[in-house]
Amino acid sequence: MPILDRNVKTWRKKDLLAHMTDYKFRQMVKTQRLSRIQHGIYIFSPAKESDNDLVLIQQFYSQAIISMFSAADFHGLTTMIPRSVQITLPSHGARCLEKPKYPRVEYFFAGRNIIDLGCEVHKIDDYPVRIYNRERVVCDMFRYLRRVGQDMAIEVFNNYMRDKKRRNLDKLVDYARQLRVYKYISKYVEVYVG
């Protein structure tokens, strides 16, 4: 019988099953959140904690999508360092959420028909984080032009256009139509390409 570290909380399987379903128990063992140390005795594996603000916000708001300057910074589209993590939430039922003490968060809202447009999942410190893609970020800058300012929107647009390998103008124009900013995007694309 192995000697157990007295500082580690050990659990009997039957005690764990009193607090969770058998399916949840098997999933936790499979994902190594629970480790078997001897027959019928388990310990919780220490979870690797992330100190990345995007990961922390995603854990706090599971339905959030990292957007605006936070997403622009992630994709290398801006030189501005965001003062807060900017997220987009569904406009229905998400307006009365409690804000965490840290990190600072700023809300944007979108309807059900466009909330998932351009959403990608990226791994940060082994955690899945939902972040808008480059084209959605550019369009959102023009959607919220009064809030972000024209200079910042143009900086993000110019940085997007300079990266010829990763830009997708067809997708950008399609998103611009769906997000109702086509008049801005088409004008700047014509000037830039023409």
pLDDT digits (tens, 9 = 90+) for 75-118: 999 999 899 999 999 988 666 677 878 899 999 999 999 999 99
Q: Three-state secondary structure along the chain? A: CCCCCCCCCEEEHHHHHCCCCHHHHHHHHHCCCEEEEECCEEEECCCCCCCCHHHHHHHHCCCCEECHHHHHHHCCCCCCCCCCEEEEEECCCCCCCCCCCCCCEEEEEECCCCCCCCEEEEEECCEEEEEECHHHHHHHHHHCHHHHCHHHHHHHHHHHHHCCCCCCHHHHHHHHHHCCCHHHHHHHHHHHHC
- Residue 29 pLDDT > 60: yes
pLDDT at 47: 57
Kindly report which listed range (26-30, 124-128, 155-159) carries the lowest average pLDDT score: 26-30
pLDDT at 49: 65
pTM above the 0.85 mark? no
pLDDT at 48: 61
